[in-house]
Structures are given as C-alpha cells and as structure tokens.
Amino acid sequence: MKLAYSLLILLIFAGCTKTPEPNNTNQFIKFFGSAKNETANAMVSTTDGGYLIVGSTTSFNLYEQAFLAKADANGNVQWTQHYGIDSTNDGNVTVARSAIEVDGNFLVLGEGTKGDTTNFLLYQVDASGTQLGYKEYATTTKTDQGYYISAINGGYMMIGTTGDGTIAQNNNIKAIKIDNNRDVVFEKSDGITNAVDGLGNIIEISTQLNGADVNDFLWVGTSKRLPDDTDARIIRLNDIGGIRWEENYGKLDSKNQTGAEIKVDGKDYVIVGNTNLNDNGDVYIVKVDADGKSLAEYVISLENEQIAESIEPVSDGYIVAGTNVLKREALTNNITASTAFLMKVKADGTMDWVKEFGDLGKDVDGVNSGRFVKAINGGSEGYLLLGSFDFFGSSVMGLVRTNSDGTTL
C-alpha cells in the first residue's frame, strides 16, 4: 500500500534527521490516494478556505473512476470519494477534470465512457462528497470529453473536445451551455476538418462591448494546420458560443507552439504552453492584450524537456508549473522518468529559479508531474503546487505548499 510506504519513508527520515521545530511558515507536502493510482487534474479553492482536488483513480475498481479529495487550508484530508456512472463499482470509465462550487455544493465535470462512446459527464456533489446525481451530455460523435465548467448568468458553460473516435482523430472544441436545471440551452463545435485541435483551459471575462456589459469566454488551446506544425490559439466566445475573434501564436513557424492555460494578467492576459524552438521542450509564454494581440513572447529553456501546464501572474513576474521530462521510452515516446517543476519567471521573461519535486527511486525512474499552481497573496506567502507523484511504481495526488522561494521544509 502506498500510504504504508509513505509512512515508512517518513519514519526513515525521522530517524535520520532532526525533527523541525514548529513554525508559522504553513509549508506542507500532503498526499491523497489509496492502493493503486490517482491522477490530479485540477484544484478549486473553496469558500471554507480549503481545496477540492479533482482527478481520477484506479484504486477502487478495475476501471478508471472520477476521484475527488477535499482538503482544509493546511492540506489535511477531510474526505475522498470516487464515482462511476451507474454505480461506484461499474464497468465504465469515468474521469473528473474540473469543478466549481455552487451554494456550498460542487458541480464536477469530466467524461464517462460506455463501450466505445464517451460523453460529457456532470456530477452534482454535496459538501461532504456525497453524490447527489449526474447527467450525461451525449451527441452523435464517439468522443466528447469535458474539461472546464464556468458559471454564467442563468446557467453554466461546459467546454471540452469532440471527435469521431478514430486513430487519426478529428478533434474540435465543444461548448455546451446548460441552464440552472442542467438542461441544454445550446451546444456548438468549432475546428478545422481533419485537424487535431488541443484544448487548454477557458476563463470567463466581463467586459464592455458597444457600451453594454457582456460576459464572454477566452479559450486557449492548440491548433494544428499543417502535418508537423502547431500554434497556440485563443478564441473569444460569447455566451451563446459565437466566435468574436481568434488569434494564433507561432504562425506556423515549425516550432510547434502549444497553449495549455490562460490567466488574467491585470488588464491583459497571459498564456503558457510549450515550443521546440531549441529542439527541446521549452516553456512558452505569451502576453496578449484584450483583443488577443501579442504584447510579448518568451521562451525559457532548460537542459531537459519541460511540459508547462499552469501559470499564475505574481507581483514581479509569473509562476509556472509542469513536468520536467528526464527519460522517454524510444519506441512509444512514453515518459518513463520525470519530476514536477515549479518555475519563477521574471517580468522580462527570464527565469529566476526552478524547483523540482518527486521521488525517482533507486533506478532513476518514477513518473512525477506538475498540473496546477496557485500563488498565495500574489506569491508573498508562497505557492501551492498540485501534481501526481510516484511511490514505488504507483501514483498519488500531491499538494505542495512552498514559501516564496519555492522551497519547503
């Protein structure tokens, strides 16, 4: 059992090092999981000061299931729950990818697979983790995967991808607006035929347009227009799924830019993703104005390949989280050894520092990854890194709170 291994490691450390004296740093490293594998996808700050961690698990069934872990402000687990489709122990595959808090309860979005068909899957969960119900959103396609949900006036917007389920899959972005009764108001897909468009995240923005207040959405992701070229991409959607504008970054320069996450940066926005500008996986950051026009582009290169997943603007730059790839299996290109990284980038786009987290084991293996970062009070009180961490060949969700320099106790 992974928790037993964790306790053994802690006992070894306790026997070899001096126990730290109590202090007010609030730094911690906490794990959430059970006997097999848990994967972290997202984290939500809750109104009680804690966190809801969202992902998937294979610890309770032969098949992957949606998994939630609720933690308090100090990272202490309050409850964990796992969910299938028809029951908690069914033969279907379910994944949770995002959540929002609604009146003390949660709406959790992901997907559920029955046979060869995958649909958006929306769970209703109360404050104790008890499932109140779920609803599938099915279309005629074979693979509809839900990624992000946002509350809007009169309902909610769900964003994901849709595809035909083939190996050479045609992936488009998909938007489904539902009302407060969880019924569909409209659904819309957008993309280029026979091109695989990757999804980053989506944020809601409140702006004025022609003198009127509007609630729009900015979607960031990756567009593929040539066989070997990708660009980072922003699409601005109105609240009925119409496209106001779209912009690409990279302009088919064969350096394969990708867009993983967009955040508000003052009056502007910042995107993080990747590029192979230096023939390696480099961190790619683009700052854009309210109309999507590029204000600055930065590339941060390290010795190994980096996969940037999340960004947060701070008072003097940006904090980035992701995965530092140490080894790949040559035939399958699967990652066989990696660490989670936390990177501080200055306002001018140069790297300030980088920290790595994760056990690699005796044979320099172990797959660890960083998925989400949150700055606490602008970074002055440190950072929260959410990731998946390897323990003797199994994976657990991990929540790491560092100080402002990215270090822990």
Model pLDDT for residues 312-341, shown as the tens digit of each residue? 999 999 999 999 999 988 888 889 899 999
Choose between 50 and 188: higher pLDDT.
Answer: 50
Q: Which amino acid is at 18?
A: K
Residue ranges making up the domain that contains 258: 33-309
Compute CA 11 distance to the chain's CA centroid, rounded to the nearest angstrom. Answer: 32
Please give the Cα distance from 95 to 141 (Å, whole number): 18
Closest Cα partner for 161 from 109, 124, 215, 123? 109
Supply 37's token pair.
Answer: 């594998």
Q: Are residue 217 and residue 339 in the same domain, yes or no?
A: no
- The pLDDT of residue 384 is above 80: yes
Task: Sort residue 293 into left (φ over 0), alpha (ψ -120 to 50) or beta.
Answer: beta
Q: Does 206 fall in a domain?
A: yes
Same domain? For 172 and 287 the reply is yes
For residues 324 and 371, give the distance between their C-alpha atoms in angstroms, rounded to a whole number.
Answer: 12
Q: Assess whether 140 and 252 both reside in one domain.
A: yes
304 and 344, same structural domain?
no
Claim to verify: residue 214 and residue 69 sit in the same structural domain:
yes
Given 309, 337, 365, the domain boundary residue is 309
Degrees (nearest 5) of the Cα angle 135, 141, 146? 45
- Tell whether 27 is covered by a domain: no
Q: Is the residue at 262 inside a domain?
A: yes
Report pLDDT for 25. 64
Among 262, 280, 309, residue at a domain's last position = 309
Where does the pLDDT of residue 11 fall: very low under 50, low under 70, confident under 90, or very high at 90 and above? very low
pLDDT-derived band at 19, boundaries 50, 70, 90: very low
Same domain, 237 and 260: yes
Confidence of residue 5 (pLDDT cuts 50, 70, 90): very low
- Per-residue pLDDT band for 374 (boundaries 50, 70, 90) equals very high
In a domain, 163, yes or no: yes
> Do residue 304 and residue 325 come from a single domain?
no
Number of domains making up the chain? 2
- Residues 6 or more apart whose CB falls under 8 angstroms from that of 67 comprise 38, 54, 55, 56, 57, 80, 81, 82, 83, 96, 397
Q: Are residues 266 and 132 in the same domain?
A: yes
* pLDDT higher than 80, residue 14: no
**CATH code of the domain containing 77:** 2.120.10.10
Residues 169 and 305 in one domain: yes
**Are both 253 and 388 inside the same structural domain?**
no
Residue 17 belongs to a domain = no
327 plus 208 within the same structural domain: no
Distance CA 128, CA 70 (A): 8
Can you tell me the mean pLDDT for 211-233? 82
Q: The whole model's pTM is what? A: 0.88
Are 299 and 381 in the same domain? no
Average pLDDT, integer, range 270-278: 91
Give the SS3 label for residue 326.
strand
Does a structural domain hold residue 82?
A: yes
Asked if 262 and 203 count as a contact pair (C-beta separation under 8 A), the reply is: yes
Which range, of 3-7, 330-334, 397-401, averages the lowest pLDDT?
3-7
pLDDT digits (tens, 9 = 90+) for 134-183: 999 987 778 888 988 988 877 998 988 888 666 445 567 788 999 999 99
Specify the amino acid at residue 275. Answer: T
Under 8 Å CB-to-CB from 234, ≥6 apart: which residues?
218, 219, 220, 246, 247, 249, 259, 262, 269, 271, 288, 292
Instruction: Decide which of 309, 339, 374 is a domain's last residue.
Output: 309
Write down the pLDDT at residue 4: 35
Q: What is the pLDDT of residue 13?
A: 34
At 227-269, the pLDDT tens digits run 678 889 998 888 777 888 889 998 657 788 999 999 999 999 9
Domain annotation covers residue 58: yes
Residue 6 within a domain:
no
**In the block, which residue shows the tokens 């119900």?**
133
Amino acid at 134: Y
